[in-house]
A and B are shown apart, each in its own frame.
Chain A
Amino acid sequence: MVRASPTSMSATERLWRHPEPKRRYDVVIIGGGGHGLSTAYYLAKNHGITDVAVLERGWLAGGNMARNTTVIRSNYLWDQSAAIYERSLQMWEGLEDELGYDLQFSQRGLIGLAHSTGDVREGMRRIYANRLNGIDAEWLTPEDVARVCPIVDISPDKRYPVLGGAYQPRAGIAKHDYVAWGYARGADALGVDLIEGCEVTSIDVAGGRAVGVGTRRGSIAAGKVAIVAAGHASIVAAMAGVRLPLQSHPLQALVSELLEPVHPCVVMSNTVHVYVSQAHKGELVMGAGIDAYNSYAQRGSFHIIERQLAAAIELFPVFARAHVIRTWAGIVDVSPDASPIIGPTPVDDLYVNCGWGTGGFKATPVSGAVLASTIASGNQDPLARPFSLERFTSGALVDEHGAAGVAH
C-alpha cells in the first residue's frame, strides 16, 4: 500500500488546512500535540463527531510530540496499565494503514536491562504479568542480550554488569513528527479544524458547565472542552478552577550524528540510567530521567546529559566516539503514580487527559481513542476508568514507578 510521506509528497499536497476558527464547535480540544490530534481524529473517525477544533498555542505538535524519544512498548506491570498500553500497541500495528501515512513505525524490539538481583526479580515479575495479560515478553540471559543487541557490553566486570534483560519483541519506535502529521492530515480530511497560533487564555464556565474558551484569536463557544495540554495541563485546568496533581519538569533528550546502522533495537536501563535507540535515518536517539526541579522552560541542566552519556558508553562502548549533535527538552507533566489522568473533571463537559509524564508518545493512539469515546458517550471509557482523578482520594493509585527502595 502506498503511503504518503514527507519524502514523497508533491509540492501541492496539503497536510492540513489553516482555517479561521469558527465561533462555536461541538468539541474544542485544547492542545495540538499527539494526543490532542489523535483525540480529534478518533472523534471524527470512530464517532462521526467532526465539528471539532484543535487549538494549539504554537506550531502544531510542537510540544512534547516534537521532542520525545519515540519509544513504543506495552510492557507495564499493572493490569490497568498493561491493558491501555497494549491496546495502544495494537493500534500502532495498524496505524500506517489506518492513516495512509508513513510513520517509520518499526517493531524492532526493546530490552530492559537488569543489573542487580533486584532488577532481575522486578524484570521477571513484569514478564510473567505481561505474558498472562497476553503481552509478548521474554527473559534474556546476558548471552541472549548480546545476541539480540551485539553492541551491549555484557562483560561481568563492569561496574554494574548486565545480568539479563526483559525483552518485548513487538516494541519499537516511530517517527514522532510523522505520527503527528499523519493524525493531523487524517483529522483535517475528516473536517476537523486545526488552529495554530491560538493560545487559550480562559475557559468559560457557566452553571458548573464548560461552555467555551477565550483565545488569542477570539472567543470560541463549545459543547464540550477537553484539556490535552501535557506539561501545560495544570495551567489550562486552572482556568476552569480545576486543580490537578501534576508537576511539570524538563525531560531532556539528544541525538547523535547520522551513523551506519549499529544499534538494532531499543535498550533501556534503569540502573545505568539511559535509554537508546537508532532512528531509521541513522541518528542515535537518547534520553534518561527528568530534571528534578519544576520548569516550563523546555530546557534542563547539562549534567543530566553528561551523566546519561557516561551511562550510554558504559553499556555501549562502541558509542564512545559518536558525537552529540543536538540536545533539547520538553515539559513533562508527572503525576504522583506515573500514570495518566483521563476523564471528566468536577466541571461538567470539561475533560482532561494528562499526566502521561515521560511516557506519552507510545500512548498516542489509545489516548486519543479513549478520550474520544469518553467524550462521545459521556461515560468513562473502560480503559480509562482506573485513571480517574478520583484515585487520589481513594488511594487506588496505579504506581508505575517501579519497586521503591533497595533491600539488604
Chain B
Amino acid sequence: MSGSRLPAGGRIDRDRPLAFTFDGVPYAGYDGDTLASALLANGVDVVARGIYTGRPRGIMSAGSEEANAFVHVQWPRGWSEPMLRATQVDLEDALAARGEPGRGRLVDEPSRARFEKRYAHCDVLVVGGGPAGLAAALAAARSDARVILVDEQREPGGALLGARELIDDVPAIEWIDEVTRELRAARQVRLLTRATALAYHDHQYVLVAERPREPLVEGRLWHIRARQVVLATGAHERPIVFADNDRPGIMLASAARTYVNRYAVCPGRRAVVFTTNDSGLSAARDLADAGIEVVALVDARDGSTVTGTVGGECLEGALVDGQTVACDLLAVSGGWNPCVHLFSQSRGTLRYDNDLAAYVPDRPFQATYVAGAAAGSMGLAECLQDGARAGSRAAAAAGFGDGTAPPVPAVAVDGHRTGRVHPLWVVPSTTGSWDTHFVDLARDATVEDLRRATGAGLQSIEHIKRFTTIGTASDQGKTSWMNASAIAGALMGVADGATGLPTFRPPYSPANFALLAGRDRGDLHDPIRTTSIHPWHVAAGAVFENVGQWKRPRYYPRDNESMDQTVLRECAAARTGVAVMDASTLGKIDLQGPDTGEFLNRIYTNAFAKLPVGSCRYGVMCRLDGMVFDDGVTSRLEQDRFLMTTTTGNAAPVMEWLEEWLQTEWPDLRVRATSVTEQWSTIAVVGPQSREVLRALAPSLDVDAAAFPFMTWRSADVAGVRARVFRISFSGELAYEINVPTWYGQSVWEAVMAAGASLGITPYGTEALHVLRAEKGYPIIGQETDGSVTPQDLGMEWIVSKTKWFIGARSHRRADTRRDDRRQLVGLLPLDPDDLLPEGAQLVLDANQPVPMRMVGHVTSSYRSAALGRTFALALVNGGRALIDTVVYAPLGDRTIAATIANPVLYDPENRRRDG
C-alpha cells in the first residue's frame, strides 16, 4: 500500500467526492480523478495480472500508453465495457470496475446508449490540445479560418497538466484557461475534448472518437475533412527494459510527476528515479517537492543503471548498480517517442533522430504540419513556437492570413525535456536469464522472446512483431515498439534506428465496435422500402419476406392456415376466380427520345423498335458475356416513349446499365431514361373473373377480349384515378396490371378489393406468384438464372434475334456458350405426385454411384400445384431438352426422390386461359 492523496493541490474537485468500487471493494475519489489516480490515491497497487505469467501488475503510466492496468468497467449509466485502461477512465460516481487480466469479457446486455456520427469540414484541424496544439489553434483561429481542435483529455493542456511550468511567469494553467476561453468564444472554432483522433486517412479525412458527457450519447464518431491538418499529438515517454521491470510501483517518470501535480496523488513514499535524459530530473524534483523521499537518482548518462527489482506483490526495492535500494516507487524515463501514429497513417515518412533516440516525422504526404513534441521539439518554448508557426502556416495554406507566426508568450528555459537522450534500451541481465526483462507488459513479451525471434533468423521488425506478438495488445505497442525495435536491432548488430517500426494502422486508440457502427443498427441497418399499399397488407395479416430492401407480402394466411394451405388457396383463386397482387416493387423506367426503339433493340435480345404504340412485349436482356441479366415487359407508350419494367431486385442495376451505355458508348442516341419505380403503384388483377372486376372499376374502358387484346395497354380512369392498364400475365391467366400514381395506390387497391368482394377476390403474395409462373415454365431471374445461364439455356431461342445486334450476341457464339450439353431449363414431375423436391437439390442419372457423384443439374423451383393437383419442379439439367421423359434422381441424404424430366410448361401449354 504505497500510494496516498496529497492534502492539497491537483486539478481534482475536492468538493465533489465520488464513490466507486474496484474488484468489489469500495473506495472514494474526486471528480477530476481517473480510475488510475483514484486507485493510487487509495493505495491500491495491484490492478491486474500478466496475461500469461499471472504476475501482479500495477499502473505504469498516466495516459493512453498504459500497458498494465486493464479494467472492466460497469458504467453508472448502465452499460459495461471490457479492456479499458484505468488511466483513461474518468471517474464517475457509482462506477464499478475490476482488473482484467489480459482478455476482456463481453457481456450480453441491452443498452439504451446511442452512438452517433457527425460529419464536418474545416480549414484547419488541430489534433492535440497541449501547448503546441493550443498555440496552433489560436494562430489559425485568429486568421478567421474554420478551426477544429480535438484533445483526448477532458480538458486541454496536454503535458502541461502534469507539470509545473510557468508561461509568462504564471502557472501554465492560466495560459491554458485563457486560450481555451478565446477559442470557445471564437465563431469559427469547434473545440472538442474527450475526443481522440483515431485515424488520418487519404484525402485529409480524419476520424475522431468523442466521448461526450451527455445522458444518452455514449460516443460520437466525427468524420472530418480538413483542408489542412496540424498534428500536435505530443510524445509518449518510454520505459527502460531491465530485469523484473513489471512490478506494481514501477511507472514512467512523467506519470509519477503527473499523479503528483495533476491528481494530488503520491504514487509512493520512497522513490528511485532511473533516467536517460533531463526529463527524469524534472520528475525527481516534482516528487521531492511533494514530500516523496527520492532515495536515488540513477542517471544512465553517468553509467548508472537499475539491474533489477525485488518485491512480493509489489515493488520493495531496486537493484542500483548491484546494491539493493529499498523503495516503493521506481520512476523510469527511457526517453520520449514522438506520437507519429497519425502522421504515419497519413503516409508521412519517418526518420530516426539520434539525439532523441526516436523516430520523428520526416516528409508529410498530405497537407500536414507537425508541431511540438510530436515533431521532436521537446521544450515548452519550442512547442509554443512550433504550434504558432504550424497554425498560421496551415491557415495560410487554406487561404487565411499570410502565414506569419504570431508571437508566443515567454517561457523560462527549464531543460524539461530538452537535451540528448542517452540510448539505453535494455539493462543487461546479471543472471543470464532474460525472461523477466519485459518489453511488452500487455503481452508478457520479454527480451527472451526477442532473442528467440532474432535467433530464428528473423530480421524484419514485422516478422519480429508477429513472432513475439509485441505491440499487438490493447495498448497497441505505444511503449513497446520502440524498445523492441532497438533491442532487436542490437541483437542483430545493426545501428540504432536501422530496424524501423511496424506499420502504423488505424485506430490510434481502441475504438468501440458500436461507435464505429453508429446508428446503422436495428431497423436503421438498411433502409426499409415499402409500397404505398403496405398498411393494407399489414392490416390483412400478410406474412412478409425481404426482397432486397423491400418488404413484400409473401402470403396472406387466414385463420390458422399453414403457408402451404394459404398458397394453394391463393393459387386456386387466381386460376379459377380472381386474385390481386401488389406488384409495385418491380422496376419501372420511363424512356423517351426518338432513338429509344433502336436503344431497346440493342439492350434486349429481341426487337422493340417496331413495337406498335399501345403494345407490350416481354424482353430479356443479357450482359456482354451473354448471360441473362434481367427480364420484363416493356410497352410503347408513344412513338418516342417506352415504359420498361425490370425485376424488383434489378431495378437499380438495370437503370445504371442503361445510363452507362447511353452515356459512355452511345452518346449519339437521343434517349433519356428516368426511374419511375416509386412513382407508380402496380396492382395486378388476375384470373378468369378479372375482367369483371376491371369492368366495374373502369366503366368507360372496353374490356372485351377483342377490344383490349393480350399484351396491349390502355389509358383509363380506374376507380376515378387516371391509370395505365396493361394486359400482361405472369400466371398464364387473364390478367390486368393497373398502374396508378403511388399516391393513389392504397385507395385504388381498396377499390379493387371492394369491386371484387362479391367474386371472392383474394390477395396473393410472392409465394403464390412464384407457383403460378412456374406452372407456366416462366423463369425467375436469380432463381432459374445465376449469372451463368443464357436465354438459350432457358429454352428461349425464340427471343434471341438472329438478325440484329444486341448486347451479349457475340458471346453466344463462343465455344462454351454453344455447347449442347449446357444446363437447360426443364420441368420435373416426381414419380410420387405428393413428393416435394427440395429447391437446390442436385440431380443425378444414377443414384447408386459412389460419391463423388456426377451431377447433371439442380432443382431451381419446386411447389405443390393446386392446378395440376400434384407437386412439380423446374430444374436446370445438362442437355435437359434431349432428356424429356428420362428419370433423374435427387439424393437427399436420408432418401432419394425420383422424377421424370418434362417440358417446363406444365399448365395450359397452348395458352388457352389467357383471354379468360
Knowing A257-B83, A318-B106, A326-B505 touch, does A405 contact B517 (C-beta < 8 A)? Answer: no
- Residues of chain A with a CB closer than 8 A to B202's CB: 299, 301
Q: Is B910 an interface residue when CB atoms closer than 8 A count as contact?
A: no
* Residues of B624-661 contacting chain A, CB below 8 A: 625-627, 629-630, 647-650, 653
Knowing A326-B476, A405-B787 touch, does A121 contact B506 (C-beta < 8 A)? Answer: no
Inter-chain CA distance A307–B521, complex, in Å, is: 10
Does A405 contact B650, Cβ atoms closer than 8 Å? yes
Inter-chain CA distance A314–B627, complex, in Å, is: 34
Does A407 contact B780, Cβ atoms closer than 8 Å? yes
- Residues of chain A with a CB closer than 8 A to B462's CB: 59, 62, 66
Taking each of B105, B505, B523, B780, which has the highest tally of chain A beta carbons within 10 Å of its own beta carbon? B505
- Residues of chain A with a CB closer than 8 A to B79's CB: 321
Knowing A10-B455, A314-B525 touch, does A407 contact B649 (C-beta < 8 A)? Answer: yes
Does B787 contact A127, Cβ atoms closer than 8 Å? no
Using C-beta atoms within 8 Å of the partner chain, give the interface range for chain B.
Answer: 35 or more
- Residues of chain A with a CB closer than 8 A to B814's CB: 393-395
Contact with A along B69-95 (1 / 0, CB 8 A): 000000000011111000000000000
Q: Is B770 an interface residue when CB atoms closer than 8 A count as contact?
A: yes
Q: Is B496 an interface residue when CB atoms closer than 8 A count as contact?
A: no
Does A406 contact B106, Cβ atoms closer than 8 Å? no
Q: Is A26 an interface residue when CB atoms closer than 8 A count as contact?
A: no
* Residues of B296-345 contacting chain A, CB below 8 A: none
Question: Closest Cβ of chain A: how far from B568's Cβ, in Å?
Answer: 18
- Residues of chain A with a CB closer than 8 A to B505's CB: 326-328
Taking each of A262, A321, A407, which has the highest tally of chain B beta carbons within 10 Å of its own beta carbon? A321
Cβ contact of A310, chosen from B83, B518, B858, cutoff 8 A: B518
Binds B, one of A11-19, A208-216, A228-236, A356-364: A11-19
Inter-chain CA distance A326–B507, complex, in Å, is: 6
- Residues of chain A with a CB closer than 8 A to B507's CB: 324-327
Q: Is A242 an interface residue when CB atoms closer than 8 A count as contact?
A: no
- Residues of chain A with a CB closer than 8 A to B81's CB: 321
Does B106 contact A259, Cβ atoms closer than 8 Å? yes
Inter-chain CA distance A393–B133, complex, in Å, is: 60
Taking each of A6, A83, A129, A133, which has the highest tally of chain B beta carbons within 10 Å of its own beta carbon? A6
Does B770 contact A408, Cβ atoms closer than 8 Å? yes
Cβ contact of B852, chosen from A133, A151, A196, A318, cutoff 8 A: A133
Cβ contact of B858, chosen from A128, A131, A258, cutoff 8 A: A128
- Residues of chain A with a CB closer than 8 A to B503's CB: 328
Binds B, one of A46-54, A112-120, A374-382: A112-120
Question: Closest Cβ of chain A: how far from B60's Cβ, in Å?
Answer: 18
Inter-chain CA distance A160–B545, complex, in Å, is: 9
Binds B, one of A91-99, A100-108, A342-350, A396-404: A396-404
Does A310 contact B787, Cβ atoms closer than 8 Å? no
Inter-chain CA distance A151–B105, complex, in Å, is: 13
Inter-chain CA distance A142–B585, complex, in Å, is: 28
Contact with A along B522-557 (1 / 0, CB 8 A): 110110100000000000000001111000100000
Q: Is A20 an interface residue when CB atoms closer than 8 A count as contact?
A: no
Taking each of B448, B514, B518, B547, which has the highest tally of chain A beta carbons within 10 Å of its own beta carbon? B514
Q: Is B804 an interface residue when CB atoms closer than 8 A count as contact?
A: no
Q: Is B576 an interface residue when CB atoms closer than 8 A count as contact?
A: no
Question: Closest Cβ of chain B: how far from A194's Cβ, in Å?
Answer: 10
Question: Closest Cβ of chain A: how far from B218's Cβ, in Å?
Answer: 9
Cβ contact of B82, chosen from A313, A321, A391, cutoff 8 A: A321
- Residues of chain B with a CB closer than 8 A to A12's CB: 455
Q: Is B456 an interface residue when CB atoms closer than 8 A count as contact?
A: yes
Does B511 contact A128, Cβ atoms closer than 8 Å? no
Inter-chain CA distance A302–B206, complex, in Å, is: 10
Question: Closest Cβ of chain A: how far from B828's Cβ, in Å?
Answer: 14
Does B201 contact A310, Cβ atoms closer than 8 Å? no
Inter-chain CA distance A323–B106, complex, in Å, is: 10
Q: Is A309 an interface residue when CB atoms closer than 8 A count as contact?
A: yes
Inter-chain CA distance A262–B82, complex, in Å, is: 13
Using C-beta atoms within 8 Å of the partner chain, give the interface range for chain A.
Answer: 35 or more
Knowing A12-B455, A116-B545, A321-B514 touch, does A310 contact B525 (C-beta < 8 A)? Answer: yes
Does B783 contact A407, Cβ atoms closer than 8 Å? yes
Does B456 contact A9, Cβ atoms closer than 8 Å? yes
Does B456 contact A14, Cβ atoms closer than 8 Å? yes
Chain B residue at smallest Cβ distance from A130: B842
Q: Is A246 an interface residue when CB atoms closer than 8 A count as contact?
A: no
Does B525 contact A15, Cβ atoms closer than 8 Å? no
Binds A, one of B175-183, B250-258, B466-474, B610-618: B466-474
Inter-chain CA distance A43–B153, complex, in Å, is: 57
Chain A residue at smallest Cβ distance from B844: A132
Does A134 contact B451, Cβ atoms closer than 8 Å? no
Question: Closest Cβ of chain A: how far from B538's Cβ, in Å?
Answer: 14
Question: Closest Cβ of chain A: how far from B444's Cβ, in Å?
Answer: 11
Question: Closest Cβ of chain A: how far from B347's Cβ, in Å?
Answer: 9
Question: Closest Cβ of chain A: how far from B456's Cβ, in Å?
Answer: 4
* Residues of A57-85 contacting chain B, CB below 8 A: 58-60, 62, 66, 79, 83
Does B512 contact A314, Cβ atoms closer than 8 Å? no
- Residues of chain B with a CB closer than 8 A to A15's CB: 456-458
Inter-chain CA distance A318–B80, complex, in Å, is: 11
Does A17 contact B782, Cβ atoms closer than 8 Å? no
Knowing A15-B458, A322-B104, A401-B787 touch, does A407 contact B516 (C-beta < 8 A)? Answer: no
Does A18 contact B457, Cβ atoms closer than 8 Å? yes
Does B457 contact A116, Cβ atoms closer than 8 Å? no
- Residues of chain A with a CB closer than 8 A to B586's CB: 408
Contact with B along A273-303 (1 / 0, CB 8 A): 0000000011000000000000000010110
- Residues of chain A with a CB closer than 8 A to B510's CB: 257, 323-325
- Residues of chain B with a CB closer than 8 A to A177's CB: 466-467
* Residues of B122-168 contacting chain A, CB below 8 A: none
- Residues of chain B with a CB closer than 8 A to A131's CB: 851, 891, 893
Does A396 contact B782, Cβ atoms closer than 8 Å? no
* Residues of B100-117 contacting chain A, CB below 8 A: 102-108, 111
Does B518 contact A306, Cβ atoms closer than 8 Å? yes
Does B513 contact A323, Cβ atoms closer than 8 Å? yes
Does A325 contact B476, Cβ atoms closer than 8 Å? yes
Q: Is B674 an interface residue when CB atoms closer than 8 A count as contact?
A: no
Chain A residue at smallest Cβ distance from B545: A117
Q: Is B841 an interface residue when CB atoms closer than 8 A count as contact?
A: yes
Inter-chain CA distance A134–B851, complex, in Å, is: 6
Inter-chain CA distance A118–B80, complex, in Å, is: 38
Question: Closest Cβ of chain B: how far from A196's Cβ, in Å?
Answer: 8
Inter-chain CA distance A388–B817, complex, in Å, is: 17
Does A257 contact B457, Cβ atoms closer than 8 Å? no
- Residues of chain A with a CB closer than 8 A to B474's CB: 257-258, 323, 325
Cβ contact of B103, chosen from A14, A60, A260, A312, cutoff 8 A: A260
Question: Closest Cβ of chain B: how far from A403's Cβ, in Å?
Answer: 4
Does A408 contact B82, Cβ atoms closer than 8 Å? no
- Residues of chain A with a CB closer than 8 A to B852's CB: 79, 83, 132-134
Chain A residue at smallest Cβ distance from B453: A6
Q: Is A256 an interface residue when CB atoms closer than 8 A count as contact?
A: yes
Q: Is B349 an interface residue when CB atoms closer than 8 A count as contact?
A: no
- Residues of chain A with a CB closer than 8 A to B892's CB: 128
Inter-chain CA distance A9–B453, complex, in Å, is: 9
Inter-chain CA distance A6–B445, complex, in Å, is: 12
Chain B residue at smallest Cβ distance from A313: B517
Q: Is B883 an interface residue when CB atoms closer than 8 A count as contact?
A: no
Does A121 contact B783, Cβ atoms closer than 8 Å? yes
Knowing A11-B451, A159-B522, A405-B785 touch, does A319 contact B545 (C-beta < 8 A)? Answer: no
- Residues of chain A with a CB closer than 8 A to B626's CB: 395
12 contacts between A and B (CB under 8 A): A13-B455, A18-B459, A115-B546, A177-B467, A257-B473, A307-B520, A324-B510, A325-B476, A326-B476, A327-B506, A395-B815, A407-B781
The 3 closest A-B pairs by CB, nearest first: A406-B649, A404-B787, A124-B840
Given contacts A131-B891, A320-B514, A321-B513, 17 further A-B contacts (CB under 8 A): A9-B456, A14-B456, A15-B456, A59-B463, A133-B851, A151-B108, A196-B460, A302-B199, A309-B517, A322-B512, A323-B83, A324-B513, A325-B507, A326-B507, A395-B626, A396-B816, A406-B548
